[in-house]
Structure 1
Amino acid sequence: MALSDTKLRSLHGKPYSGSPEVADGDGLGVRVSPKGVITFQYRYRWQGKASRITLGRYPALSLKDARTLTADLRVMYDRDIDPRTHFEKSAGEAVMTVADCLDYWNEHYVTVSLRPATQILYQTTLIRLMRDAFPGRPAADVSVKQWVDLFAKEEQINPRRARQLLAQMRSAISWCIRRQVIESCAVMRVSPRDVGVRSEIGSRVLTYPELAQIWVAIERSRAATSNKLLHQMLILWGARVSELRLAERKEFDLESGIWTVPKEHSKMGNVIRRPIFKQIVPLLEKAMLTYDQILFPGAEITQPITMAAANRYILRIREGLELSYWRAHDFRRTLVTRLSEEGVAPHVTERMLGHELGGVMSVYNKHDWLEDQRQAYELHAEKLMWHVRKLSG
């Protein structure tokens, strides 16, 4: 019978007189001591002999993580590699500090498995802010109280970021535990719900007069042309920032009037096609005339503007306006909400956002409704420009 979190919780830390070993599947099982100490084990046969590997103790190692680790070991076994080599450590290996764990996680997981935008997110938040926590101390020796105190300080700076940092730290440390880089770490006993506050789901929908104020502020700002064009086109297209920020000249076919976002720049890993409509053509042509292959360069002309630079620019624009809090991502919600008010069909607005359609339609219906998108974009731009002209006099 497979293990479950409910069963493990019922056994953990309580007197136990049942079978000392309880199997799960694929060689994974637990050994339960008379005092309720639960240890995950992986059993297999190697060269005709029974072998057993201790994976870690519950709850420092969760059932989910133990199953993930077992799957990794099964892959090694199927490739005729002794799973025990996964845990071998060289003599005199240094004890892992928090910095060592984050560096190892970054090198072997973040930069290998994650998309560039996500890599940058982790490297500029968790790794930058937490790498120097408890310098020189083994990660396994840091107490729960010390972790709580650390995140309490982060709460005073930014409550939402504090909870995000804890969640990211737990994810990184959990990965290291599963791969036996460290055996345990007290941060896994700190619950995210006890730190900071949860990030709110965005709900801001701008009005056209508010969009016009932002448009004019961008137009009048002293900033690089690439930054100004990037954000004005985000208002009109409702694209994700990175879809446009990373865009190259070759993605835009002015003759057929189509912008094709490659899957490498898409959050969902899908190709997105949007029409190049009449109001956005002058902005796009200006970018093409001013720059080369990278249409929205940053400090280096051959590299796209960074997300940090784009965020700093929006911060400056926002601080100069007397509007309730907004961010660039709200342009997407605003586009869809205002066009829905005008009767534009949901399947069209979903394609404008770059979303796949739900259910069976996502499998069989690959139509983009480009002409319907074009008409909707032109309606959105027309209403916005009417307010821009009114505001500008």
Structure 2
Amino acid sequence: MKWDNFTSERVASFKCKPGAKQSIFWDGKQSGLGLRVTASGTKSYIFQTELHGKTMRITIGNYPAWSISDAQTEAARLKVKTDQGIDPRQEAAEEKAAKQASEAARKAQEAREIVTVGQAWEEYVTARKPLWSELHIRDHDKVMQAGGDARKRSKKLTEPGSLATLAKIRLVDLTPELVTEWAQTEAMTRPTRARLALRLLRAFLNWCGRHSTYKAIVTSNPAQNNDARESLGKAKVKHDVLQREQLLAWFKAIKQIQNPIISAYLQTLLLTGARREEIASLRWQDIDFQWNSLTINDKVEDFRVIPLTPYVANLLSALTRRNEWVFSSPTAASGRLTDPSIAHRKACAIAGLDLTLHGLRRSFASLCEWIEMPAGIAAQIQGHKPQGVREQNYIRRPLDLLRMWHVKIESWILKEAGINFIPTQAGLCVVKK
């Protein structure tokens, strides 16, 4: 090992040995100081010594950014540390961690003083949006909207969301008492919406409790208190369902809807018993007209496959293929149907019925009783979670078995609705008025 006092001329002349990846030249003046020269010509000062019986090497800095005197001074400092049994690398890591902790505490304090519920909510929605459905995203947007915006289908301005009054409150000031006061106010005008808003607020605050900055502010969940929940009351069990004798009036009103997309959507919703968003998000690639099956994105499982019954096949095959969505919309930003409930309410008003979109799903389950369809088959078609050990672990029904019963209930419903149809060989149907 060659030792030479470092000078500007010597350091500038040092070159990597031929055939080697790097060469190290040692300073004769300062113990442990070396200059590493790579095959590409890059030079950097290093410090090397023995610590706790092992060789330790630390990079000081690049040449010529570091002068010889500065490199010697730093090597001397490192030598003192190692002679005392101190690992400079560990010391540097601890200093860095302390600085990071101090910076995090500073940011937390700033957030504590200025961040509002609305600002944290916006960050929460942005972070969670990739994991949510469009309907869930829309629910979060609606409950926090400020209101006062123009509507597309009405001259009335939009109303403030259920949580709009909390948006400008500092997150640190959100207390159980304040949430309870909010719940008591909302309960007087819109308790159903407020119950949903409270659930969303509770999930949001749980997220804040795990957030790197907000966890210093939200140490408990103010929305998780009995007083607020009791103020909003319990949700009443809904009983809206199509009775057998109401099918004729409902189908007549639905078939008169001028928008064929909405009309087909509502009929498909009833005849499949699926959830509203499951049918709204149906893509053309999910339909197999050859083998008469529908692949549906399932809430419980990743997906489920159900029969494509003759009348539903006829409805879907007649729709215009504008894009990837079966129930497309030329005006919606997403390109698909988003809110058919307005048209459905108008049609139900004409028919003299009071029925929600989810009521159609409830109707399918109830009407299946008329043909004595086995409960497990109806549940599998609708995507309900299997009940009982036998259903969960032993029953595996083929699609043809589901089809036998599904076609039977469709035929029965259409007969009660006064719709005559003749299935063709292709599995579609000819509707006779």
Q: TM-score range by the shorter chain?
A: 0.5 to 0.7
Question: 2:324 aligns to what?
Answer: 293
How many Å apart are 1:92 and its aligned residue? 4.5
Distance 1:302 1:366, change over 3 A: farther
After superposition, the C-alpha distances for 1:328-386 in whole angstroms (9 at most, x for unaligned) are: 22222322232233222222112211234335556655734322322322222222222
The answer as to 2:384 corresponding to 1:355 is yes
The answer as to 2:350 corresponding to 1:320 is yes
Contact 2:306–2:399 (CA<8 Å) still a contact in 1?
yes
Q: Give the 3-state SS of the residue equivalent to 2:387 in structure 1.
A: coil
Question: 2:242 aligns to what?
Answer: 206
Aligned positions of 1:232-381 closer than 5 A: 232-261=267-296, 265-287=297-319, 289=320, 291-298=322-329, 299-300=331-332, 303-306=335-338, 309-323=339-353, 325-361=354-390, 364-365=393-394, 367-381=396-410
Q: Give, in whole Å, the separation in 2 of the partners of 1:134 and 1:364.
A: 47
Match of 1:95 among 105, 108, 114: 114
Distance 1:168 1:191, change over 3 A: farther
* AA matched with 1:166: L
Question: Which structure's relative contact order is higher, taking Cα pairs within 8 Å and 6+ residues apart?
Answer: 1
Q: Give the 3-state SS of the residue equivalent to 2:114 in structure 1.
A: coil
Question: 2:125 aligns to what?
Answer: 106
Q: Give the 3-state SS of the residue equivalent to 1:124 in structure 2.
A: helix
Q: Give the 3-state SS of the residue equivalent to 1:376 in structure 2.
A: helix
Match of 2:207 among 175, 178, 187: 175
Larger-Rg structure:
2
Contact 1:275–1:373 (CA<8 Å) still a contact in 2?
yes
Distance 1:369 1:344, change over 3 A: farther
Q: Give the 3-state SS of the residue equivalent to 1:389 in structure 2.
A: coil
Q: Give the 3-state SS of the residue equivalent to 2:299 in structure 1.
A: coil
Q: Give, in whole Å, the separation in 1 of the partners of 2:391 and 2:133.
A: 23
User: How big is the alpha-carbon RMSD for the aligned residues of Structure 1 and Structure 2?
Assistant: 3.6
How many Å apart are 1:255 and its aligned residue? 0.9
Match of 2:192 among 155, 160, 166: 160
TM-score (norm 2): 0.61
Distance 1:339 1:194, change over 3 A: closer
Q: Give the 3-state SS of the residue equivalent to 2:277 in structure 1.
A: helix
Q: Give, in whole Å, the separation in 1 of the partners of 2:356 and 2:378.
A: 20
* AA matched with 2:343: Y
Distance 1:178 1:382, change over 3 A: same
Q: Give, in whole Å, the separation in 1 of the partners of 2:241 and 2:103.
A: 51
TM-score (norm 1): 0.67
Q: Give, in whole Å, the separation in 2 of the partners of 1:319 and 1:197.
A: 29
Question: 1:123 aligns to what?
Answer: 141
Question: 1:382 aligns to what?
Answer: 411
Query: Mean alpha-carbon deviation: is it higher for 176-185 or for 207-216?
Result: 176-185
Q: Give the 3-state SS of the residue equivalent to 1:385 in structure 2.
A: helix
* AA matched with 2:142: T
How many Å apart are 1:135 and its aligned residue? 5.5
| Count of residues in correspondence between the two structures | 308
* AA matched with 1:96: V
Query: Mean alpha-carbon deviation: is it higher for 213-222 or for 133-142?
Result: 133-142
Q: Give, in whole Å, the separation in 1 of the partners of 2:145 and 2:397.
A: 40
Distance 1:85 1:216, change over 3 A: farther
Question: 1:7 aligns to what?
Answer: none
Distance 1:141 1:218, change over 3 A: same
Q: Give the 3-state SS of the residue equivalent to 2:278 in structure 1.
A: helix
For structure 1, the residue ranges without an aligned partner over 5 or more in a row are 1-46, 52-79
Contact 1:339–1:380 (CA<8 Å) still a contact in 2?
yes
* AA matched with 1:235: L
